[in-house]
Amino acid sequence: MTRQVAALLRHCQLSGTLPRRLLCRSAARVCSASYGPLNDGAVMRRVLASLVLSFLVAACGGGGDSGKSGGRKPVFPVEVITVEGQTVEYAISAVGTVEAFETVLVTARVRGVIEKVNFREGQLVKPDEILLEIEPQTYRNARDGAKARLEKAEAAAADAEFGLNNREKANAKTPGIFSPEEVETWRNKVKSTKAEVSSAKVDVAQAELDLENAFAKAPIGGVIQTRDAQTGAYVQPGALLATLQRRDPLLVRFAVTEQEAGYLSIGKPLTFTARDTPAPLNAKITYISAAADVGTRMVDVLAEVESNERELVRPGTFAQVRIVTASRPNTPAIPQTAVRASERGFL
C-alpha cells in the first residue's frame, strides 16, 4: 500500500495537481505506516492513509484532462525509406525551335500566262521536277525563230567569206583585177557577217534558256510549303510561285548561357521533345557560336536531328532540349520531397 501511495504522490507532483508541501506531508504519513499488529495507533494511521489516498485520487483525477490537452505534442506520420545508390545525371535544359535546313522561294524567270500547275501544298518534290508551265509554246516559237536567224547569218557569213577568197585569189593570179578598195569592202563584209552569226548564237542561247525557264522547276528536293501560283495568272519575272522547304537535314536551334556553352562540343548528343512527339527525339550538335549575343549574353547552338526521326516533328515547333553533361553512378539519392529548407540550410 505504501509503495502504491508513494507512486501516486509522485504522479500528482509531476502533474502539478497538489502543492509540494502537502504531498510531502502525506507521503511521510503513508510511508510510516506498518503492517504489524493493529493497535489504536495503527488503525488511526490506516484511516489517515485511506483518507489521503482518496484525496490524492480525486485531486489527480481532476487535473488529468488539462494535462492531456495542454501538455502533449502533435504526432506526425513519418515514412521511412532506404537510401540507395542511383545514377545521377547533370543536364542542361533549354528551349529551342525546330527549323528546316533552308527555305527556297520559287520565282518566275520569264513573263507570261501560267498554263499549268503541277504541284500542291505539302507535296514532296524532287530536284528539277517541273512545277508549272508558263506559255511554253510561245518560247518554243521564239527559240525556233532565233535558230532560223542564226542559219541566215551563217549563210551570209559563208557568202562573204567565199567572195573575199575569190577576189584575193584573182588578184594573186592577175594583180590589179580587183581594186584594193573592193577587196577591203569584202573583208569588212566578212567581219560584219561573222558578228551577226555571233549575235544570232546568243539569241538562240537566250531563247533556249527562256524555253527552259518556261517550265518552272524545283531547285532542290523538299516539301512544298505554300502555293502562290494560279492557273491563268499573268506573271512577271521575279513573281513568287511557291515556297519550298528542305528538311534534310532537320535542325534544332536553341541558346545557352556562356557558362553552359563551356560544357558543349561539336558532335555531343542531346534529346528534345516537342508538342507533337510521342517520345524524346535524338540529335547531335553541329554548330556552336563563337561569340555570345551582346544583348542577351546567350550562345546560339544548332543540332541536327537523326535521319530516321525527321518525319516525327515539324519545322517551326518549339522544342524542350536536354543535354546530359555528366553522369555519376552509385550516388545516394534522397527524394526531393524529403528535403526541407531551414535557417541552417537544407535538412
pLDDT value of residue 22:
47
Does residue 153 sit in the same domain as residue 204? yes
Looking at 185, 213, 241, the residue that finishes a domain is 213
Q: Are residues 342 and 255 in the same domain?
A: yes
Positions of the chain with pLDDT lower than 70, given as ranges: 1-71, 76, 346-347
What pLDDT shows up at residue 218?
96
List, for residues 279-306, the tens digit of each pLDDT value.
999 999 999 999 999 999 999 999 999 9
Note whether residue 87 is domain-resident. Answer: no
Kindly report the CATH number assigned to the domain that includes residue 300: 2.40.30.170
pLDDT of residue 54: 53
Indicate if 256 and 187 belong to the same structural domain.
no
Range of the domain at 192: 136-213
| Contact assessment for residue 25 and residue 19, using Cβ atoms and an 8 Å cutoff | no
Grid coordinates of 342: 531551414
Q: Return the pLDDT at 311.
A: 86
Task: Yes or no: say if 252 and 321 are a contact pair by the CB < 8 Å rule.
Answer: yes
User: Residue 140 is part of a domain; what is its CATH number?
Assistant: 1.10.287
Say which residue the cell 553512378 belongs to: 329
Q: What is the pLDDT of residue 236?
A: 97
State residue 332's pLDDT score.
Answer: 81
Q: What is the pLDDT of residue 319?
A: 95
256 and 340 share one domain: yes
Task: State which of 22, 41, 71 marks the end of a domain.
Answer: 71
Parallel/antiparallel/unpaired status of strands 124-125 and 130-134: unpaired
Q: Say what the pLDDT of residue 321 is.
A: 97
How many domains, in total, are found in the chain?
3
> Which residue, 91, 96, 90, 92, is CA-closest to 305?
96
> Do 339 and 254 share a structural domain?
yes
Domain-located, residue 48 = yes
Predicted TM-score (pTM) of this structure:
0.61
Domain boundary among 71, 92, 110: 71
In a domain, 83, yes or no: no
Distance from C-alpha of 220 to C-alpha of 171, rounded to nearest angstrom: 63
The strand pairing partners of 302, in sequence order, are 253, 287
Burial of 143 (0-12, 13-18, 19+ CB in 10 A): buried
What residues are paired with 345 via a beta bridge?
A: 342
Which helix (H) or strand (E) segment holds residue 101: the answer is strand 84-107
Does a structural domain hold residue 159? yes
- What are the φ and ψ backbone dihedral angles of 164, each rounded to 5 degrees? -65, -40
Same-domain pairing of 288 and 332: yes
Say if residue 198 is in the same domain as residue 140.
yes
Query: Is 100 inside any structural domain?
Result: no
Q: Are residues 261 and 326 in the same domain?
A: yes
Residue 120 lies inside a defined structural domain of this protein? no
Residue 79 lies in a domain: no
Residue 91 falls inside a structural domain: no
